């Protein structure tokens, strides 16, 4: 795990949007103000402080986004067994660096 940092405004916007799409609010699943980046931030995945990746308990929602290079990105918001937000996970189909961070208007919800 990489060192921690504050959650960025675009990340907070995306998490809040995804929560709303599956019928939750930040009151239901508080969004951590401190996060850790996975894979050095290459694809954009973050772990919420206070959660334990070993306690993965499922996906809340999954969305799809097409990066500016035309490569599809799957975005998954997950929770842990303590019913806290765990990860905002990005998986770019070709494992390359995320070029442009997605905004809610560019997402397609694929699974709730």
Mean pLDDT on 3-7 = 92
| Per-residue pLDDT reduced to its tens digit, 7-32 | 999 999 999 999 999 999 999 999 99
3-class DSSP assignment, residue 92: strand
The pTM for the full model equals 0.93
Q: Residue holding tokens 């050095």?
A: 40
- Tell me: pLDDT of 1 over 60: no
Is the pLDDT at 112 greater than 80? The verdict is no
Mean pLDDT estimate for the chain: 93
Distance in Å from the first CA to the final CA of the chain = 27
């Amino acid at each position: 795990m990489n060192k921690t940092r504050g959650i960025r405004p675009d990340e907070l916007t995306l998490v809040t949007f995804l929560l709303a799409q599956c019928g939750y609010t930040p009151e239901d699943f508080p969004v951590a103000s401190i996060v850790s980046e996975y894979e050095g931030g290459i694809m954009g995945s973050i772990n919420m402080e206070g959660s334990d990746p070993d306690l993965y308990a499922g996906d809340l929602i999954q969305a799809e986004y097409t990066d500016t290079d035309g490569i599809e990105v799957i975005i998954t918001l997950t929770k842990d067994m303590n019913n806290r937000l765990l990860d905002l996970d990005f998986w770019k189909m070709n494992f390359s660096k995320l070029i442009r961070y997605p905004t809610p208007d560019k997402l397609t919800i694929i699974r709730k």
